[in-house]
Structure formats: C-alpha cells, structure tokens
Amino acid sequence: MKQKSLLYTGKAKSVYRTDTKGQLIVEFRDDITAFDGGKKDTLRNKGSYNAEVSAFIFEYLARNGVKTHFVKMLDPHRMVVRELEMIKLEVIVRNLAAGSIVRNYPFKEGIKLDPPVIVIDYKDDSRHDPMLNDDLIVALKLTTAKELAEIKTAALKINALLVKMLAAQGITLVDFKIEFGRAGMAIYLGDEISMDSMRLWDKVTKESLDKDVYRFNKGDVMATYNRVAQRITKKTKSPAAKSSPAKKAATKPVNVKAAPEKIAARPAPKKAATKPAKGKGVPASTRAPATVKTPAKSAAKKTAPKKPVAKKAAKKR
C-alpha cells in the first residue's frame, strides 16, 4: 500500500489517501493538545502509544461484534482504516462524574452514574463543541432518528466491553469519547480510543492514567502513557494464568496424602463390606464399614504415622 496525498489533519492525527480503494492511512503524530488547542506540545513516542492502544481496542471490540474502521497497522505510528463519511458528533459515555459534567452540573466528582450517561456534542472547535439533544441532531440532519438509536446502542455496548477489559487490569473507565461514520448504509466506529480520548483512574490509588496528566500537570505524561499502554495491551490474560496453579495445589494433597486419614475416620457404604481397606490411597467408595473391626484397626495402624503429613497438606490449601 502506498501513502498518497494528505486528506485531513487534526490536532494529533493526519489522514492520507492511498492507492487502495476505500482505505485510508491514519498517522498518529506526537502532538498533544488540551483546552481546545490552547495548550500544545510535542512529546516523543506519544503517537505510537495511542496507535498501539487504539489498534488493540479496535481488535478487541471487533472480536465482540462491534463494527470498526480498523484494518491493520503499517508501523507503530500508522494505521490502515476503512474510509468513512464521518458524522460530526462526539459521543461521550460517562460511568463516573468527572470533568465538565462536574463543572456544569451539581454532581460530586467520582459519584457513579447508573445507568451510564450518554452526552453528545456537536464536533466544532470554533463553537467549543456544544452539547446537542436528539431533536437538534435530527433537525441538523446529522443522523436520522434510527441511526442515532443505533449509535447510542453501540456506544453502550462498547462501554460495557471496555469497562470489563480495563477492570481486569486494575483500571477504572471513568468516561470516554468516540466518533462514528458511515460506509454505505452501515455505521462504523471510527477515530481512535486511546489515553487521549478516555479518562482512566487506577482502581487502587485513583491516579490519573490519561491526558489529564498533561492537562493539569500531574506528572510525567510519557511515563504514564507508556505504563498504561503496557497494562492494557500486555496483560490481558494474566487473571486466568494465576488461577490454574491454585487449583492444582488444592486438589493434589486430598487425593494422595489425606485419603488414609479419612479412611479411618469415615465408614464407607455397606456395599464395600466384603472388601476391607488394604493400604493407603484406597478410594472413598471402597472404605471398610465401621462394623468390620479387624480391617479398620489394621488401616488405623498403617495410617497413623501419616497423620502429620495430612495436617501439613491441609495448611497448604
């Protein structure tokens, strides 16, 4: 694929035409801005961190039935995407009260919003992205009523998937912004989902893990972005990996060491009366009944030295 002429440039991304019909290249630049462009900087590797996280999330969402514009990565900064007719709406899903919703409404920061609140803004920096309601969206012919309903449903599905995925990494999804576009009659998720467009808090420390670090001078921006990118993209399977050794440790002592002690303590069903226990490791279904005295005493003598071992096994569990 060949990158051709520049189609669009935004605050932190550039979009290029290609020699492949219906596909574009999005370049994630190292630029970072805040407050409608009032604060600007260029931070090395910032674009690659956002591109990596966006690609990972787009692939995760696609596996779970969400239509996205993502096709593939060309390099750490450039992503191939499906060409969309972008809808001039910013869809914000809020799980906790923070940011502008606290400044503009009587919400206490950090309060849970249940159900999540969807806020939709008109994408226009010159007007400072004013908030819209459903009637205004339809009146402005930005979407049809049916398309708007589809966008809201998709936004809530994306939210549920992201909340689950990020929680597994010890991260709270406070809120996030997404954009949609059309390809023919279908609606696709476009733009990006990264630390620039999500508000993330560490579940334990409540530390900011997103662009708020830059907005409010909370620390080393690139160290934060690097750490968050690693947490999101590299540790998805860690919870499952930790659980399997614990299961093995719990079952092993019961089958091998603890069985003899249980033979002496608990009689088996009467069916096994003709087959007294002859040694350690006898299954519970063949244990001798309490009325057969001789085999029970024999079993008790043989297993008596093993009792300390059984106690150790119980402690290990």
Helix ranges, 24-125 (H): 46-63, 100-104
Better-predicted residue by pLDDT, 295 or 28: 28
Taking only the tens place, the pLDDT of each residue in 172-211 is 999 999 999 999 999 999 999 999 999 999 999 999 999 9
Are 22 and 158 members of one domain?
A: yes
H/E element, 17: strand 13-18
Reduced to 3 states (helix: H, G, I; strand: E, B; else coil), residue 244 is helix
Reduced to 3 states (helix: H, G, I; strand: E, B; else coil), residue 103 is helix
Q: Is the pLDDT of residue 137 over 50?
A: yes
Q: Is the pLDDT of residue 259 over 80?
A: no
Q: CB–CB of 279/287 below 8 Å?
A: no
H/E element, 86: strand 85-86
Cα–Cα distance measured from residue 316 to residue 181, given in angstroms and rounded to the nearest whole number: 56
Are 192 and 139 members of one domain?
A: yes
Q: CB–CB of 132/89 below 8 Å?
A: yes
Are 186 and 253 members of one domain?
A: no
Structure-token match 């990596």, residue found: 52
CA distances, 123 to each of 6, 67, 86, 177, 276 (Å):
21, 21, 11, 11, 82
Write out the residue range of the structural domain in which residue 268 sits: 244-316
Q: CB–CB of 181/102 below 8 Å?
A: no
pLDDT value at position 309? Answer: 41
pLDDT value at position 277? Answer: 42
Taking only the tens place, the pLDDT of each residue in 276-295 is 444 444 444 444 444 434 44
Q: What letter represents residue 131's amino acid?
A: M
**Domain's final residue, options 213, 236, 259:** 236
Are 149 and 286 members of one domain?
A: no
Q: CB–CB of 33/27 below 8 Å?
A: no
SS3 content of the chain, % helix, strand, coil (to 5): 40, 25, 30
Taking only the tens place, the pLDDT of each residue in 69-90 is 999 999 999 999 999 999 999 9
Are 57 and 121 members of one domain?
A: yes
Are 149 and 267 members of one domain?
A: no
**Domain's final residue, options 214, 236, 258:** 236
Structure-token match 């007719």, residue found: 85
Taking only the tens place, the pLDDT of each residue in 224-252 is 999 999 999 985 443 333 333 444 434 44
Structure-token match 């909340």, residue found: 163
Structure tokens at 251: 């079952």
Cα–Cα distance measured from residue 132 to residue 100, given in angstroms and rounded to the nearest whole number: 15
- What percentage of residues in the chain have a pLDDT greater than 90? 73
Are 161 and 305 members of one domain?
A: no
Reduced to 3 states (helix: H, G, I; strand: E, B; else coil), residue 186 is strand
- What percentage of residues in the chain have a pLDDT greater than 70? 74
CA 53 to chain centre: 11
DSSP conformational letter for 143 = S
Among 251, 249, 253, 252, which Cα is nearest to 312's?
A: 253
Structure tokens at 222: 């690139």
Q: CB–CB of 91/75 below 8 Å?
A: no
pLDDT value at position 142? Answer: 98
Mean pLDDT of 98-104: 96
As a whole number, the mean pLDDT across the chain is 83
Are 199 and 264 members of one domain?
A: no
Cα–Cα distance measured from residue 317 to residue 247, given in angstroms and rounded to the nearest whole number: 9
Q: CB–CB of 132/121 below 8 Å?
A: yes
Are 267 and 297 members of one domain?
A: yes
Q: How many domains does the chain have?
A: 2
Taking only the tens place, the pLDDT of each residue in 145-179 is 999 999 999 999 999 999 999 999 999 999 999 99
Q: CB–CB of 64/71 below 8 Å?
A: no
User: What does residue 70 show for φ and ψ, rounded to 5 degrees?
Assistant: -70, 135
Reduced to 3 states (helix: H, G, I; strand: E, B; else coil), residue 205 is coil
Are 133 and 53 members of one domain?
A: yes
Are 84 and 219 members of one domain?
A: yes
Are 310 and 165 members of one domain?
A: no
pLDDT value at position 218? Answer: 97
CATH code, domain carrying 216: 3.30.470.20
**Domain's final residue, options 188, 207, 236:** 236
Q: CB–CB of 264/296 below 8 Å?
A: yes
Cα–Cα distance measured from residue 87 to residue 9, given in angstroms and rounded to the nearest whole number: 16
